[in-house]
Structure 1
């Protein structure tokens, strides 16, 4: 068997590190959500559905509006300064893909679609901070 040169070994190590770092990079920080104002928010659906009030503590509450359970697996598709996209799977209860675009610390646009409770969903909404949590 032929010995591997130091140069080839370094290249192989770099490729391996890149492949192993891939999932870590894909699971980014979602820092944009941390810049949103904490407190009470009202989510207004564009299809005319009744508005929903939520208490925002981290901003991540907007990711799974149709899946309230914890423990869902998330994959960060986009992690930008003013926009994020997250795909998630809730074992036994479906999945979703949510895009959140920040217009200000107290205003975001949300588009989400997926399957919840065995039924498809799709919605566009605007969420605004309304004050303190109730």
Structure 2
């Protein structure tokens, strides 16, 4: 083993391991319970029982067999693109304003029809 190999091995061995934050950790900081999504310009509301925060990603596609790709994963905002075979796809951005209030933008297609949702979700109580 040459000197450069020894130096490289020592450098790697002495480099501290960086702890990696869990994916979509911002969603873990939301308060669990019943949440209500209200789209801007619409009187309809969608009630959601939030257990992990990830329930807010697929508001149109409620099934669990969708493939997800994380586009942005920051402390106060996440963006996820997902595909649900046979049902459509979407891209959702969730911006945290507090542990009980988030802003949501989601668009895509559902069963061949385009959708676009912009609004806020807030915690309303227990599930």
- Structure with the larger helix share: 1
Correspondence list, 1:51-66, <5 A: 51-66=45-60
Correspondence list, 1:79-90, <5 A: 79-90=73-84
1:30 aligns with 2:21: no
Q: 1:112 maps to which residue?
A: 106
Instruction: Structure 1 unaligned segments of length 5 or more: list them.
Output: 1-5, 11-24
Measured on the aligned residues, the alpha-carbon RMSD in Å equals: 1.7
Instruction: Structure 2 unaligned segments of length 5 or more: list them.
Output: 9-19
Select the residue among 87, 91, 94 that pairs with 1:93.
87
Deviations 1:53-72 (A, max 9, x none): 11000000000000011110
Offset, 1:49: 4.3
**TM-score normalised by the chain length of structure 2:** 0.82
Correspondence list, 1:29-48, <5 A: 29-48=23-42
- Contact 1:93–1:118 (CA under 8 A) maintained in structure 2: yes
Q: 2:69 maps to which residue?
A: 75
- Structure with the larger strand share: 2
Q: 2:126 maps to which residue?
A: 132
Query: Compared with structure 1, are the counterparts of its residues 66 and 49 closer, same or farther at alpha carbon in structure 2 (3 Å cutoff)?
Result: farther
**TM-score normalised by the chain length of structure 1:** 0.78
Distance 1:75 1:112 in 2: 14
